[in-house]
Chain A
């Protein structure tokens, strides 16, 4: 039973298209994140939701819009895809219990824009 799952695992699309990536967790955590990992493996946080409320919104083009329909789901919608959006996108979760900061990652979605 996968703790953090993402769909799809691979996504190949053309420039200008709109696409969504979905994330679901069954850990009961209250905080979820989206990260982007570029071709050099550098990981950068994009967004975070705590109990469905946006708490981290890094400098990300407004073509990227996260949506959290409930505490177990965090989706990422990307409009007007560009070549530079090609990357691996990771969803992660954590709990805000005192002293807890570790995050648990999904398997990633490899997005290729052609």
Chain B
């Protein structure tokens, strides 16, 4: 069965610094991969997705992620973090055989002024 691991529960960065949030998945074939962001009291917003093709995908709000099959990873990056990026970030994996998404446990991003 597929699974998703987000090894960092919390990450704190200074405003203007770069960011990388880690995500590792377990699935035998090529997965569908997603990053979502959840601001306090809000629903989940899709940041970006990977299905196939170019392994570096661009998303909204200046985020990008890179699919590395050899490392079973799909890490999220942003070159310069803004205070408004403080939120909970979820990585998710889907497959061809099911419409179910499996979510990681989330990483809470805190931004220092």
- Say yes or no: is A68 at the interface (Cβ < 8 Å to chain B): no
A94 touches B99 (CB 8 A): yes
Given the complex of chains A and B, what is the CA–CA distance between A74 and B83 in angstroms?
36
Contact across chains for B100 and A45 when beta carbons are under 8 A apart: yes
Residues of chain B lying within 8 A (CB to CB) of residue A105: 36, 43-45
User: Which of these, B42, B43, B99, contacts A101 with CB under 8 Å?
Assistant: B99
Grouping DSSP codes into helix (H, G, I), strand (E, B) and loop, the A interface class, with mixed when no group exceeds half, is strand
In the complex, which residues of chain A have a beta carbon less than 8 angstroms from the beta carbon of B72?
Answer: none
Contact of B99 among A42, A48, A99, A108 (CB under 8 A): A48
24 chain-A/chain-B pairs, Cβ below 8 angstroms: A41-B38, A41-B105, A41-B106, A41-B108, A43-B44, A43-B90, A43-B103, A43-B106, A45-B101, A50-B99, A55-B99, A56-B99, A90-B43, A90-B44, A94-B99, A99-B52, A101-B34, A101-B49, A101-B99, A102-B46, A103-B101, A105-B43, A107-B43, A108-B43
**Structural contact, B44 and A101, CB atoms closer than 8 A:** no
Residue from the list A55, A101, A107 in contact with B32, Cβ < 8 A: A101
Expressed in whole angstroms, the minimum distance between the Cβ of B15 and any Cβ of chain A is 23
On whether the beta carbons of A102 and B49 are closer than 8 Å, the reply is yes
Size bracket of the B interface: 20 to 34
In the complex, what's the smallest C-beta–C-beta distance from A36 to chain B, in angstroms?
11
Interface residues of B (CB under 8 A from A): 32, 34, 36, 38, 42-46, 49, 51-52, 88, 90, 94, 98-101, 103, 105-106, 108
Tell me the count of chain A residues lying within 8 A, CB to CB, of chain B.
Answer: 25
Tell me, rounded to whole Å, the shortest Cβ–Cβ distance linking A25 to chain B: 12
Give Cα A45 to B34, complex, Å.
Answer: 16
Beta-carbon nearest neighbor of B36 in chain A = A105
Residue of A nearest to B105 (CB): A42
Q: What is the bound-complex CA distance between A43 and B90, given in angstroms?
A: 9
Q: Given contacts A43-B90, A101-B32, A101-B51, is CB(A106)–CB(B101) below 8 Å?
A: no
